[in-house]
Chains A and B, each alone.
Chain A
Amino acid sequence: MKRVLSLAAGYTVLIVWAFIVVAPLFWLITTSFKDKLDVYLGPKFIPWIDFIPTSRWWIRIFTVEKNSLLKPYANSLIIGLTSAFLSTFLGLMAAYALSRFRFRFGFMKNEDILFWIVSQRIMPPIIVVFAIFIMYQTLGLLDTHVGLIFIYTVFNLPLAVWILSNFLGQIPPSIEEAALVDGASPATILFRIVIPMLLPSLTATFLLCFVFSWNEFLFALILTYSRAQTMPILIASQHFQRGPQWWDISALATLAVLPPVAITIGLQRYFIRGLILVGK
């Protein structure tokens, strides 16, 4: 009996939280199907009962506003995927180096170097934003894909290095050493032994970096104008002279959540396994 009770209690909690998660999302999606007056004279809850849903905003996004939508969407994808890949790859290289070799840069040993790299994550972006703006202006990197890719790679690099060096620290180098003795080249070791072993952590890192880049706001706001505009900026600029365009914002936000959700569903098994050893 006690078992049944505790089971029921457990599922109640799970369902309650599931409801808490879904309710705002429900509101978001239904608002994208509401007429303007249905929003201003709200709140209207259930489609077809409280209000008649309309698909005009969605249609408008994909026809009239197609160009102003497609570009930020494509930009976010390109910039997000590229910077996530670079962060993961460079992070892997650095983490591998730090966990397999001994370094000394002046007084800094491996542990210190690692700490320095990871501590970059602590720095609030607002500190560097203005300086980077000036830097980019001088270098002609303002409003370019490359510019944002650089800055996102840099800001996600510490995260990548941390996660990967944690995992690497757990794996004894014996397999690699054996391969070295067998005459394998460093490249072979890296690509045929290390990377397959690290696949869960690599996908977890990639996903996290991608999500952070996809949703980033401050740098995108300050360092781009139009050519490299990303989705968060597009959503934020729906706030016209008539007040927030709730229906457009809702539609765009719904669209914006699809790629991260898709990638997460696809990679979720690896994601969990990759995070297992983060804390150790």
Chain B
Amino acid sequence: MGNLGQREKRLLISPAVILLLFFTLFPFVFTLALVFGKVSFIGGKIAIQFAGVSNWVRLLHDQRFWNAVLVTLKIVGIAVTAEYCIGLVLALLLYKKPFGCGFFRVLYVVPMLLTPIAVGYTWRMIFDVGRGPITGILQRVGVNPIGWLVDPNIALYSIIITDVWQWTPFMFLLLYAGLEAIPKDYLEAADVDGATAWRKFVYVIMPLLAPPSIAALLLRSVECFKIVDIIYIMTGGGPGQATESLTLFGYNVGFRAFDLAYGATIAFSLFFMVLIAAMFFTMLTRSLRAIRLE
């Protein structure tokens, strides 16, 4: 296919590349410049001075930063794992198309389609310690109300529960598609060999599901690292710092305290974290491919 002209080749790819360069490269560089500078508003005008690595030094010594890192890592680690496991179970139950699977499939997708702001408000209502339905039900069975969003030790898990509720459909869809793609003969061969469901699962299904799994984990983790909308609505980052994710931290510093250079630094630290995670998953994919080729 290589004999299509140079012109056509470039024409096909240029719009995408140009858009990306313009809208992401320039801002990226600009923000990077901010990171090594210091922004002040003197007499209403923005003044940027060079400040070397002082922002980074400040960041690494900032307990609030490390708190945000911990919060973000906890959320990503627990939520994505939970979403994967639940999504896998649901996909396994439905990929053989039992009765009613069409209905379940459509229903399960709905949470993912809601705007996160609305999801945040919904669960804020549900978790409300004075007037929420959970409290109402607990009180009827004689249990004390739980301070879902109020107790610093529990608030983070409430956020995780909300994220799991909203994004399990994402994992479910990808794993379902992955399961559907497994050639029927493999599964039938295993049945003929008299394999139990468990052995079938471990030796046939999981290996074939590995690539979609990794892709799903990668995609979802990358998105989850950026979590902010739900937290903003449900707790504002509180109580105290208990639920302040990195993005929220950056937003608070940049737009509430107007410390733009420091905000940019925080944003970049998030970028590095996500990059590392993505590279980890990509390497996993490559080594998996290498194994399969053998």
Direct contact of A and B (CB under 8 A): yes
Residues of chain A at the chain B interface (Cβ within 8 Å):
7, 10-11, 13-14, 17-18, 20-22, 24-25, 27-28, 31, 39-43, 45, 90-91, 93-94, 96-98, 100-103, 113, 117, 119-128, 130-132, 134-135, 150-151, 153-154, 157-158, 161, 173, 176-177, 180, 186, 211, 214-215, 217-218, 231-232, 235-236, 244, 246, 249-250, 252-253, 256-257, 260-261, 264-265, 268, 271-273, 275-280
The one of B125, B254, B271 in contact with A124, judged by C-beta atoms closer than 8 angstroms, is B271
The one of A43, A261, A271 in contact with B110, judged by C-beta atoms closer than 8 angstroms, is A261
CA distance A31 to B132 in the complex (A): 11
Nearest A residue to B102 via CB reads A268
**Contact B247 A151, beta carbon cutoff 8 Å:** no
- Residues from chain A with Cβ under 8 Å of B121 in the complex: 235, 244, 246, 249-250, 253
CA distance A274 to B28 in the complex (A): 32
- Residues from chain A with Cβ under 8 Å of B157 in the complex: none
- Residues from chain B with Cβ under 8 Å of A18 in the complex: 104, 107-108
Say yes or no for B213: interface residue by CB 8 A criterion: yes
**Contact A215 B136, beta carbon cutoff 8 Å:** no
**Contact B118 A253, beta carbon cutoff 8 Å:** yes
CA distance A135 to B260 in the complex (A): 16
Known pairs A27-B126, A100-B1, A217-B116; A135 contacts B26 (CB<8 A): yes
Nearest B residue to A131 via CB reads B27
Say yes or no for B15: interface residue by CB 8 A criterion: yes
Stretch at the interface among B2-10, B147-155, B184-192: B2-10
- Residues from chain B with Cβ under 8 Å of A40 in the complex: 131
What are 12 A-B pairs with beta-carbon distances under 8 A? A21-B111, A27-B133, A97-B9, A97-B12, A123-B274, A126-B228, A127-B27, A130-B260, A154-B19, A217-B117, A253-B117, A272-B180
- Residues from chain A with Cβ under 8 Å of B264 in the complex: 127, 130
**Contact A215 B116, beta carbon cutoff 8 Å:** yes
Q: Mark contacts of B109-127 with chain A using CB atoms, 8 A cut-off: 1 yes-contact digit, 0 otherwise.
A: 1111111111001111110
Q: Which of B2, B20, B117, B267 has the most A CB atoms < 10 Å from its CB?
A: B117
- Residues from chain A with Cβ under 8 Å of B270 in the complex: 124, 126-127
Say yes or no for B105: interface residue by CB 8 A criterion: yes
CA distance A28 to B19 in the complex (A): 39
- Residues from chain B with Cβ under 8 Å of A128 in the complex: 23-24, 27-28, 31
Shortest C-beta distance, A269 to chain B (Å), equals 9
**Interface SS, A side:** helix
Shortest C-beta distance, B25 to chain A (Å), equals 9
Q: Mark contacts of B258-290 with chain A using CB atoms, 8 A cut-off: 1 yes-contact digit, 0 otherwise.
A: 001001100110110011001000000000000
Knowing that A10-B93, A103-B9 are A-B contacts, what are 5 other residue pairs whose CB atoms are under 8 Å apart, sorted by A's residue number? Answer: A124-B247, A130-B264, A135-B27, A154-B19, A186-B8
Shortest C-beta distance, A229 to chain B (Å), equals 13
**Contact A256 B28, beta carbon cutoff 8 Å:** no
Known pairs A126-B267, A127-B267; A253 contacts B27 (CB<8 A): no
**Contact A235 B117, beta carbon cutoff 8 Å:** yes
Say yes or no for B90: interface residue by CB 8 A criterion: yes
Known pairs A123-B28, A279-B178; A256 contacts B115 (CB<8 A): yes
Q: Mark contacts of B61-97 with chain A using CB atoms, 8 A cut-off: 1 yes-contact digit, 0 otherwise.
A: 0000000000000000000000000100110011000
CA distance A119 to B274 in the complex (A): 10
- Residues from chain B with Cβ under 8 Å of A96 in the complex: 12
Shortest C-beta distance, B1 to chain A (Å), equals 5
CA distance A42 to B126 in the complex (A): 11
CA distance A90 to B27 in the complex (A): 21
- Residues from chain B with Cβ under 8 Å of A25 in the complex: 110, 122
